[in-house]
């Protein structure tokens, strides 16, 4: 199966079958949990939604299907598809009347978070959200230690600008600890990032 970006570059991270994206297996198993950051956030958002706390969802990635094979009458297999456009951030929604928009990333690095994990269009999108008075941030997980931090987009923009001006191409963990907030990990919700939002923004 082949999926191409609009510029013709092949997408190789996963397969698309029957309209769904099959994600590659996570490199790290988080102890007995085996949960990825995305799964933790999706479960957390479901908890928020079911209790009327917030409405926050993962954004779907728009895909243009080009070729479909029908090996059986009851099954369709997508053989070729393209991403229609570059994605912005992973999640958005509403909490306490405020627009929430954020990206989630993780790294195997123990001491810093590489800025190459972000794309220019994501940075510009977060910048635009902030300019409209929305709440924008990134959730960063250090996989080796299972520590998860919330970093306001304004700080990310500052570190991105530093890189553009010839500075370091990553954010040190110490910097994240100084200007970000550690997200508590629990059972329900798994990653209570809204508690951090309440403390950080209010």
- Nearest Cα to 149, choosing from 88, 89, 199, 105? 105
Average pLDDT over residues 135-142: 96
- Nearest Cα to 139, choosing from 202, 49, 56? 56
Q: Which domains does the chain have, with CATH numbers?
A: 36-60+86-201 (3.40.1350.10)
12 pLDDT higher than 70: no
Q: How would you classify residue 146: left for phi > 0, otherwise alpha for psi between -120 and 50, otherwise beta?
A: left
Output the six-digit token pair for 133: 């008075």
What's the pLDDT band for 3 if we cut at 50, 70, 90? low
Work out the number of other CB atoms within 10 angstroms of the CB of residue 133.
8
Average pLDDT over residues 60-85: 64
77-92 per-position pLDDT tens digit: 766 655 555 567 889 9
Average pLDDT over residues 26-50: 73
Predicted TM-score (pTM) of this structure: 0.72
């Amino acid at each position: 199966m082949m999926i191409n970006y609009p510029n013709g570059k092949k997408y190789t991270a996963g397969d698309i079958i029957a309209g769904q994206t099959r994600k590659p297996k996570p490199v790290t198993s988080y102890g007995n949990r085996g949960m990825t950051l995305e799964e933790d956030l999706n479960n957390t958002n479901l908890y928020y939604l079911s209790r009327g706390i917030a409405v926050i969802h993962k954004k779907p990635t728009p895909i243009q299907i080009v070729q479909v094979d029908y090996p059986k009458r009851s099954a369709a297999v997508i053989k070729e598809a393209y991403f229609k456009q570059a994605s912005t951030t992973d999640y958005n929604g509403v909490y306490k009347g405020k627009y929430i928009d954020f990206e989630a990333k993780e790294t195997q690095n123990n001491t810093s978070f590489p800025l190459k994990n972000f794309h220019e269009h994501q940075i510009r999108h977060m910048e635009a959200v902030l300019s409209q008075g929305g709440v924008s941030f990134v959730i960063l997980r250090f996989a080796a230690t299972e520590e998860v931090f919330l970093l306001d987009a304004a700080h990310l923009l500052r570190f991105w600008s530093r890189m553009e001006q010839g500075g370091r191409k990553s954010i040190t963990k110490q910097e994240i600890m100084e200007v970000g907030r550690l997200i508590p990990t629990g059972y329900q919700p798994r990653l209570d990032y809204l508690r951090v939002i309440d403390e950080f923004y209010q």
